[in-house]
Amino acid sequence: MILNQFLMLAAVLFCIGVYGVLARRNGVLVLMSIELILNAVNINLIAFGAFHDTIAGQVFALFVIAVAAAEVGVGLAIVLLIYRNRRSVDLTEINMMKG
Amino acid sequence: MLENAWVIPALPVLSFFIILFFGKRLPKGGAWVGVAAVALAFGLSVVAVGQWISRPATLEVATHHGSEGEGQTVEGDDPAHGAAEGEHDAVREPVRREVTWFSNGPIDIKVGTHIDGLAVAMLFVVTTIAFAVHVFSTNYMADDVRITHYFAALSLFTAGMLVMVTASTTLLLLFGWEAMGLCSFMLIGHWWEKHENSSAALKAFFTTRTGDIGLLVGISILFFAAGQTFDIATLNEAALTGAISKGVLTVGAIALFCGVIGKSAQFPLHTWLPDAMAGPTPVSALIHAATMVVAGVYLVARVYGVFWEGFNIAAGGVNLGAVIGGVTVLIAALLAFVQTDIKRVLAYSTVSQLGYMVMALCVGAWTAGVFHLFTHAMFKGLLFLGSGSVSHAVHTFDMREMGGLRKFMPTTYKTFLVGSIALAGLPPLAGFWSKDEILTGASAGGFPIMFWMGVVGAGMTAAYMTRCVWLTFFGEYRGHGHPHESPAAITVPLIALAFLAAVAGFLNAPGVGLFGDWTNNAVTLAAGVEHHAFSPFIAVTSTLVAIAGIGLAALWYVRNAGPHGITERNAAARAGYTFLLNRYYLDHLYTDGIVGSIKGPIARAAYWINQNVIDGIVNGVGIAARKAGNFTYDILDQGMVDGAINGSAAAAGAGGGFLRTTQTGRVQQYAAVLFAATAIFAVVLIVVTI
């Protein structure tokens, strides 16, 4: 089995995700980019799991999916509330926590 | 009874508390409680006397050269004494009973009773006189406003003396001694509404305190010298066996003797005693006859080993105690001639007789001194109560307003006469025997000066008592009102004491010698105190001198012979008379000389020191404290402590302000930092693992 292709795919996805998180201004898209990062990690986990012939990687991947679902739930709820208050989900405008 | 002798002092203590707490609610202010307690103590004392006399002489005492028994020896003793002392080898063993009061480290401080012949004799004397005085007081003080306090103090006074005479340690002895000092203050100042009475009480208290300083010092010295024990028997033994060095004993004896001088009114601290007449007359009788003043004499007799060695009595010649005693005999007797107050005559007579006792003890005539204490208590108690009876009738103590009272008060007159003759030392009454023994002891003990002082004193005693009796009971009545004989509560004690004063002397008369046998003890035996044989020459001499004294006084006052009015005509005689009237100016010396000098220069010096040294120190400390405070405030508190706190706060603020700039609130910036940091750590991790 060739591990490199999976790792490359995961690395590409991870970089796309990081780019999305850092560069996109839309809150929803940032959340989606975070999903990309998490899924890149999932690919890694499953690839290594298959490579080492163990199911631990798949278990962790399922675990990450579950946590990611919860995270997206909370994140979307926050974005929804921000939208309701400001009619915008532009992250650059949301700096109320400035010290 | 001898084992349980503590009951005897305990009874008056009990009565003191009962009278103090319940006296006001009892009939007659609780007087009868005091009388009953003292009567019971008297009865028990008589029992104790009987038991002591019937006690077999079992204690073997080596009198000389360290033969068997207690092993007590006297260095440098004369071998010739041995044969004469042979029959006194065995004495009655003292009955001791002690409990530990408290322990301090390895030292057990004990209290207890030490009952020997001396203690038993004193118990008898004290309770006899106290009983007579209590009965006398029930009538004499019946109308007094503070009769409750009077009887309470009287009980405590008696208790103090009884504690003292039964004490087995010097500490307990001191306790009784001081209790008496307090009670004498309360009783002398009983009628304190008059300023002179309270002054007299203060004077008595302070004068005896002056001597008590010496007593305290002496007891402390001897406590350490005897191996950290207050026990009197141990102390005597240590003194006589040479366990304590001669120098320490001398210092200790002199210090103790200071207490004796104060308490027993010896020259030069005798001045308080005549002023103590300010108290009620029964109190005077108690103070003068049985308690208080004889406490000092008792102390000398009790710790005789210390005095014997400390004053080097065996050597004869002169010593401090004998000189003080002899001088006291003479100067007090002289003063008795110029007094017009009957109680003051008796007071100076007491001082003089105390001088006899101290002199007797300090010339080695131990038995004679104690015996004189015994007989003197009887006739002096009688004389004081007699003077109280007189004043009860004529309401004054001034003899110039008396006279001719023998017709009005026959019982008082007769008893007073018995007491006077006993005091004058005419045979066969009590005073003769004891005084004769003292003179014999002084003569045979190698103290010729003290012998002649005693002889002269005997003549003077007889003369001033003649004057006193004459002015009081003979001639024409010079006062006002109608004198009358006193009631039975007053005359019965007089008669009882007159009987004792008449016969007490026979106890130790030549050929009888019972008193000497009963009071014989290990201390005097070990010291080698001699019992001198009766000397007819001395007896005749002292009797003749006494008769001569009476005769001269009778010539002067009765026949009106002699150079009357010489004090007006002759400057020297007038000067002497004035000198006596002013009591040798001793009171002036004390009040103006000593107290005045303390009040003046020393007070000013103390003021100067106060202003300059003490205030200087105080102010200096204050200024220094203020400076230190300023320094602390400015430098330490404001500068360093606050600086550190403010500095740390400012540093925290600055750090916060710097960190604040990173807190932009822009979530993507945070994420960028997060990923950058992760990347850096990843690189580091890779580098480290490779």
Burial class (CB in 10 A: 0-12, 13-18, 19+), B571: exposed
To the nearest whole Å, the CA of B632 is away from the closest chain A CA by 40
Instruction: Count CA atoms within 13 Å of residue B320 on its CB side.
Output: 19
Which residue in the set B662, B665, B668 is minimally distant from A22, CB to CB?
Answer: B668
Q: What is the dihedral of CA A33, A36, A38, A43, to 10 degrees?
A: -170
Which residue in the set B659, B662, B666 is minimally distant from A92, CB to CB?
Answer: B666
The arithmetic mean of pLDDT across residues B455-474, rounded, is 84
- Closest alpha carbon to B294 in B233, B360, B240, B238: B360
**Residue in A closest to B678 by C-alpha:** A18
Residue A26 φ then ψ, to 5°: -80, 125
Q: B663, A97: Cβ pair inside 8 Å?
A: yes
d(CA B64, CA B528): 7
- Rounded to a whole number of angstroms, the distance between the first and last alpha carbons of chain B is 110
Query: Is the predicted pLDDT of residue B74 greater than 50, yes or no?
Result: no
Residue B102 φ then ψ, to 5°: -155, 160
Indicate the pTM of the whole model.
0.70
Is some CB atom of chain A closer than 8 A to the CB atom of B659? yes
Which tens digits make up the pLDDT trace of B276-328? 787 788 888 888 777 788 888 888 888 888 888 888 777 766 788 888 888 88
Predicted confidence band of residue B424 (pLDDT cuts 50, 70, 90): confident
Tokens of B76: 């440098």
- Closest alpha carbon to B119 in B164, B66, B181: B164
Q: What is the dihedral of CA A9, A11, A16, A22, to 10 degrees?
A: 170
Cα B579–B584–B588 angle (5° rounding)?
A: 110
| B463 three-class SS | helix
Q: B664, A94: Cβ pair inside 8 Å?
A: no
Where do runs of H (alpha helix) occur along B29-91? 31-53, 81-85
**Residue in A closest to B662 by C-alpha:** A99
Q: What is the ipTM of this complex?
A: 0.86
d(CA B135, CA B415): 17
Query: Is the predicted pLDDT of residue B73 greater than 70, yes or no?
Result: no
CA distances from B226 to B114, B217, B235, B677 (A): 18, 14, 6, 92
- Ranges A31-40, B9-18, B85-94, B486-495: which has the least confidence: B85-94
Burial class (CB in 10 A: 0-12, 13-18, 19+), A10: buried
The arithmetic mean of pLDDT across residues B513-537, rounded, is 74
Ramachandran area for residue B299 (φ above 0: left; ψ -120 to 50: alpha; else beta): alpha
pLDDT at B76: 40
Size of interface A-B (CB pairs under 8 A): 36
Which tens digits make up the pLDDT trace of B103-120? 777 778 888 888 888 888
Is some CB atom of chain A closer than 8 A to the CB atom of B670? no
The arithmetic mean of pLDDT across residues B443-456, rounded, is 82
The answer to whether B227 and B109 are in contact (CB under 8 A) is no
At B600, which amino acid appears?
G
Strands (E), B470-585: none
The arithmetic mean of pLDDT across residues B214-236, rounded, is 84
Chain B contacts in chain A segment 20-39 (CB below 8 A) = 21-23, 30
Write out chain A residues lying below 8 Å of B675, CB-based: 18, 21-22
Residue B159 φ then ψ, to 5°: -60, -40
In the DSSP assignment, the letter for residue B264 is: T
Q: A18, B675: Cβ pair inside 8 Å?
A: yes
- Closest alpha carbon to B375 in B312, B437, B460: B437
d(CA B332, CA B220): 32
CA distances from B13 to B137, B141, B165, B470 (A): 18, 21, 15, 41
Residues shown for chain B: 690
The answer to whether B539 and B417 are in contact (CB under 8 A) is no
| B498 three-class SS | helix
| B279 three-class SS | coil
d(CA B348, CA B356): 13
To the nearest whole Å, the CA of A50 is away from the closest chain B CA by 24
Average pLDDT, chain B: 81
Residue at token pair 């996109």:
A24
The answer to whether B248 and B225 are in contact (CB under 8 A) is yes
Is some CB atom of chain A closer than 8 A to the CB atom of B663? yes
pLDDT at B375: 86
Q: A97, B668: Cβ pair inside 8 Å?
A: no
Which residue in the set A18, A22, A99 is minimally distant from B660, CB to CB?
Answer: A99
d(CA B241, CA B227): 14
**Residue in B closest to A14 by C-alpha:** B675
Write out chain A residues lying below 8 Å of B663, CB-based: 97-99
Residue at token pair 């060695």:
B309
pLDDT at B89: 61
Write out chain A residues lying below 8 Å of B666, CB-based: 91-92, 94-95, 98
d(CA A68, CA A65): 5
DSSP notation for B593-641: IIIHHIIIIIHHHHHHIIIIIIHHHHHHHHHHHHHHHHHIIIIIIIIII
| B502 three-class SS | helix
d(CA B362, CA B297): 10
Q: B659, A30: Cβ pair inside 8 Å?
A: no
Q: Would you tell me the crossing angle of helices B170-188 and B246-263 to the nearest 10 degrees?
A: 20
Q: B665, A94: Cβ pair inside 8 Å?
A: yes
In the DSSP assignment, the letter for residue B349 is: H
Residues shown for chain A: 99
Tokens of B655: 């750090």
Query: Is the predicted pLDDT of residue B482 greater than 80, yes or no?
Result: no
The answer to whether B183 and B66 are in contact (CB under 8 A) is no
Query: Is the predicted pLDDT of residue B566 greater than 70, yes or no?
Result: no
Burial class (CB in 10 A: 0-12, 13-18, 19+), B417: middle
Secondary element (H or E) of residue B107: strand B107-115
Write out chain A residues lying below 8 Å of B667, CB-based: 30, 91, 94
Share of chain A above pLDDT 90, in %: 73
pLDDT at B487: 79
Predicted confidence band of residue B564 (pLDDT cuts 50, 70, 90): low
In the DSSP assignment, the letter for residue B532 is: P
- Residues contacting residue B449 through CB under 8 Å, at least 6 positions apart: B318, B326
The arithmetic mean of pLDDT across residues B257-266, rounded, is 85
- Closest alpha carbon to B392 in B194, B137, B140, B147: B140
Cα B330–B434–B270 angle (5° rounding)?
A: 35
The arithmetic mean of pLDDT across residues B95-108, rounded, is 80
Residue at token pair 């030392």:
B425
- Ranges A28-37, B68-77, B234-243: which has the least confidence: B68-77
The answer to whether B327 and B368 are in contact (CB under 8 A) is no
Q: B668, A30: Cβ pair inside 8 Å?
A: yes
Predicted confidence band of residue B597 (pLDDT cuts 50, 70, 90): low
Ramachandran area for residue B666 (φ above 0: left; ψ -120 to 50: alpha; else beta): beta
The answer to whether B91 and B525 are in contact (CB under 8 A) is yes
The answer to whether B16 and B159 are in contact (CB under 8 A) is yes
- Residues contacting residue B145 through CB under 8 Å, at least 6 positions apart: none
- Ranges B114-128, B131-145, B497-511, B519-533: which has the least confidence: B519-533
The arithmetic mean of pLDDT across residues B253-260, rounded, is 87
At B546, which amino acid appears?
A
d(CA B60, CA B91): 7
DSSP notation for B291-317: STHHHHHHHHHHTHHHHHHHTTGGG-S
Check the CA dihedral B635-B637-B640-B642 and report its sign: negative
| B143 three-class SS | coil
pLDDT at B82: 41
Predicted confidence band of residue B26 (pLDDT cuts 50, 70, 90): confident
pLDDT at B78: 42
Burial class (CB in 10 A: 0-12, 13-18, 19+), B192: middle
pLDDT at A19: 93
| B268 three-class SS | coil
Parallel, antiparallel, or unpaired for β B90-91 and B107-115? unpaired
| B566 three-class SS | helix
Is some CB atom of chain A closer than 8 A to the CB atom of B658? no
Query: Is the predicted pLDDT of residue B513 greater than 80, yes or no?
Result: no
Query: Is the predicted pLDDT of residue B65 greater than 60, yes or no?
Result: no
- Residues contacting residue A5 through CB under 8 Å, at least 6 positions apart: none
- Closest alpha carbon to B12 in B130, B134, B156, B117: B156
